[in-house]
A = this chain, B = another copy of it.
């Protein structure tokens, strides 16, 4: 299953694509940062970011998208622009017929580092380790977008988007994590736990996607 994670932002918008394979394995496919100059009018900035998001969707063809949830109290100065970008990300997903889920910053940090209070360096280091990269992804927005995609791979409940309640019965013993506790990091143990807590899915079949027509 291919997952596009988006760290929304008007100045820098992280766009990280991973492949989630059987078991817990996730691999880097692509990562880029869309940027717009702060001195441009807001509508022109959003146009630049939207074009880049649609380009990534068209090139990477994700099965699922994930977006960091923005809160009003986070940062009053920039939060409105961030929420505007979140709006165009949600719209781009709907127009492409791709299911999209939102995760809070704490959920994303907990998924990759085992702690909802991890700082940017810890998130970068864990993303590097999880995706077996030579160096930490930079800037932080790039690492964050990959962390959001990883969070989706392990915590996402895409079945909830398909409105097919009986999918919750489809997990089965074969999807439970194996070899847990032997050579796993604390973060990996936490994912394994999260994985048990959530329903397990393989690739989402096309007919199960949310219809946007």
Residues of A within 8 A of B (CB): 41-44, 46-47, 50, 70-73, 76, 79-80, 83-88, 90-91, 93-95, 100, 102, 161, 210, 212
User: Across the two chains, which residue of chain B brings its CB closest to A78?
Assistant: B72
Q: Is the interface of A mostly helix, strand, loop or mixed?
A: helix
User: Across the two chains, which residue of chain B brings its CB closest to A211?
Assistant: B44
B71, B85, B87, B102: the one contacting A46 at CB < 8 Å is B87
Contacting pair B83 A87 (CB below 8 A): yes
Contacting pair B90 A91 (CB below 8 A): no
B43, B76, B93: the one contacting A43 at CB < 8 Å is B93
Contact A91 to B161, CB < 8 A, known contacts A80-B71, A83-B84, A84-B86: no
CB distance from A26 to the nearest CB of B (A): 23
Question: Which residues of the other chain, B, contact A91 by a CB distance below 8 angstroms?
Answer: 43, 46-47, 50, 88, 91
User: Across the two chains, which residue of chain B brings its CB closest to A79?
Assistant: B72
Contacting pair B72 A41 (CB below 8 A): no
